Amino acid sequence: MLPPTSSTPHGEPILKIEDLRTQYHDKKTVLKAVDGVSLDLYPGEILGLVGESGCGKTTLGLSILNLIPHPGSIDSGRIMFRGRNVLDMSGTELRDLRGRDISMIFQDPVAGLNPVLSVGDQVQEIITAHSGIDRRAARRRATELLADMGLADPERLAGRYPFQLSGGMAQRVMIATAMALKPAILIADEPTSALDMTVQAQILEELRKLRNQGVAILLITHDLGVVAQMADRVLVMYAGRLAEESNVDMLFDRPRHPYTWALLQSLPRLDNQDPGRLRQVHGRPPDMTKLPDQCAFAPRCPKVRNECRQLDSPPLAPIEPGHLVACYNPMYHAQPSDDDEDNED
C-alpha cells in the first residue's frame, strides 16, 4: 500500500491489513461486507475511510478487533499488528489487545456506554481490568481523563449516568474510555454524527490532540468535510472494496475514480455556478448479497465501458505517484465529458 506522505510520520506501519474478507452468512445468502481490502496505518497518522452507508466501513473497523457479531465471520486475510496476526490470537490475547493496544469508539456514544454504571465507574473499570493499580488510583485517573477531554467539573460528571449526558458529552466520555490505557491505535466510527457543529469541532480537536501524541487513528465517516479537515490519507470504499487511495489533498484536487468524483460533486460549494442544484450519485447502491464479479459501480458510472461490464473487478493499482485507483476508465478531467454523461445507466 501507499507509504506515508510528507504530512505523515515515516517508518513502518503499526497496522497492516492484507486481503481481508469478512462476510455475513445465513442459510440462503452471503453478504460480502469486506471483500479483499488491504491497507496500512502508520503511527501518528489519521487515515480517513469514507463511503456510503452499508459499504462495509464499520465491519472493517470491527474486523480489526476480531469483533464480528454472529452470523458474520472473517473468512480470510491477515490483520498484522506490530508483526502479529490478530486473527491468530487467543481469547486472552484478544482481551489484552482490545483497549490496551487498539481501542474503538462507536457511532452511537450513548448506546456504547453501560446504562447501569456511572461514567466514572465505566472509565475506572477498564483501567483496573488491564492494570495493577488499586481502585482509588484508578478513580483518580478516570477523573483526570474526563478533565483531559475538556469536560467541566469531571468529579461530579463521574457520578452521572449515560442518560444524563448530552451527545457531545457522551462522545467525549467514549474517547476518554478508549484512551484510558493509552492505546497505539484508535478506531473512530462516525465520531461526529448527530452532533451540532460546535460540539463536532470540539470532538475533532480532541482527535487532533491524540494524533499529535503519536496515536494512529482510523477515522470512519461518510462526511467528506470532516475528512478534508482531519485526514492525512484517504481510502474510498464502495461495495466492500477499496475504490481509491491517496493523500487528502490529491483526492480532493483530482479524484480519479468516478465514484469519488461523484461523491465530491454532491457536496455544496461556494463557487457553484448553479447554487440551487446539487449533483447526485445516480442509481442505487448494489445489493451486497448479489455483488457481481465485475465492477460493482458500473451500473451507476458515467464513464462505464465494455471492459467494466465484462472483466473482473479492477484491482487497486497505482495511477500516479501516491495515488491508487480501482478503475478501467479513471477520471482525467474535472468532470465527465458530454459523451460520458450519455453512458449513464
pLDDT at 270: 57
> Can you point out the beta strands (E) in the chain?
15-25, 30-41, 46-50, 72-81, 84-85, 102-105, 185-189, 216-221, 233-238, 241-247, 317-320, 323-325
C-alpha cell of residue 148:
483531559
Mean pLDDT of 305-322: 93
Which residue shows C-alpha cell 465501458?
305
Helices 135-148 and 119-130, interaxial angle, to 10°? 120
Is residue 218 predicted with pLDDT exceeding 60?
A: yes
- Which stretches within 213-329 are classed as H helix? 224-230, 248-253, 258-265, 306-310
pLDDT at 333: 59
Confidence grade of residue 338 (pLDDT, cut at 50, 70, 90): very low
Q: How many other C-beta atoms lie within 10 A of the C-beta of residue 280?
A: 9
Which tens digits make up the pLDDT trace of 223-278? 999 999 999 999 999 999 999 999 999 999 999 999 999 998 887 765 555 556 66
Cell of 166: 448530552
What length does the chain have?
Answer: 345
Residue 127 has, within 13 A of its CA and on its CB side, a CA count of: 22
Task: Judge contact between 48 and 219, C-beta under 8 A.
Answer: yes
3-class state of residue 146 by DSSP: helix
Give the mean model confidence (pLDDT) for residues 10-15.
Answer: 87
Enumerate residues 6+ apart whose C-beta is below 8 A from 105: 112, 171, 174, 175, 178, 186, 187, 188, 189, 191
- pLDDT reported for residue 269: 63
- Which pLDDT belongs to residue 334? 54
230 CB burial (10 A radius; 0-12, 13-18, 19+): buried
Q: Reply yes or no on whether the pLDDT at 154 is more than 90.
A: yes
Sheet with 102-105, side-by-side order of all strands: 102-105, 185-189, 216-221, 46-50, 233-238, 241-247, 323-325, 317-320
pLDDT per position as a tens digit, 110-141: 888 999 999 999 999 989 988 878 899 999 99
Strand partners, 241: 238
CATH of domain 15-101+183-280+317-330: 3.40.50.300
**Poorest-pLDDT segment among 57-61, 203-207, 321-325:** 203-207
Mean pLDDT of the chain: 88
User: pLDDT at position 11, please?
Assistant: 82
Using alpha carbons, list the distances in angstroms from residue 106 to 54, 131, 207, 212, 340: 15, 23, 14, 22, 40
pLDDT for position 121: 94
Q: Give the Å distances, CA to CA, from 82 to 14, 16, 41.
A: 6, 9, 11
Q: What is the three-class DSSP state of 343? A: coil
Q: How many CA atoms lie within 13 A of 234 on its CB side?
A: 30
- pTM, 2 dp: 0.90
Write down the pLDDT at residue 124: 93
Q: Where in the chain is the domain with CATH 3.40.50.300?
A: 15-101+183-280+317-330
